[in-house]
Amino acid sequence: MVSEVRNKAIYRLVAAELTDFSVFYSQDSIANAEATLKNKGSKIVVEKGQIVKVTKDAKGIVKREVLTESWTDWIDYWAVDFNFESKREILRVKKEESGEWEETWTGDFIFENEWQSFRTKKDRSLELTSVFHECRSGRRKLAVKVVDIFGNDTMTILEVSV
């Protein structure tokens, strides 16, 4: 961590590292796919957090191929908001009696994507450590959002001392 004094405020550099991602999806079952698959057919099954390709050849012999070898195989995209509580989520609501608009805080905050790593069709690699980001020292909340290969997003909020 590097420190710098600017206008009596101390700034430090912070980076986020993605170390794990758990998936517990199930869609169909391998046993059901094997029983219902026709010869020369194949089916993708998600069972207990693994993606498995089930194939049946012309003679009816079934083969299984696990397509997810690592937890990183599930991740399509991940992003970091280094100051999650900096932007309140505000709703504008029209009052029925007066017709005037009133702004109300929902109690939540808006995720602002300050850094991201994502896969493309040409480049399947994924950075697991963010760049260093300059933050004012003190307590703060970082938010990490992960989008899996099915488009589902998960967000974790971490309280840290910088």
Give me the residue spans of the domains in the chain. Answer: 3-161
Q: Which amino acid is at 97?
A: E
Token pair recorded at residue 86: 């900096």
pLDDT in tens, 81-136: 999 999 999 999 998 889 999 999 999 999 999 999 999 989 989 999 999 999 98
List pLDDT tens digits, range 133-153. 999 889 999 999 999 988 999
**pTM of the predicted model as reported, rounded to 2 decimal places:** 0.76
Contact 144, 156 (CB under 8 A): yes
Residue 69 token pair? 């070898």
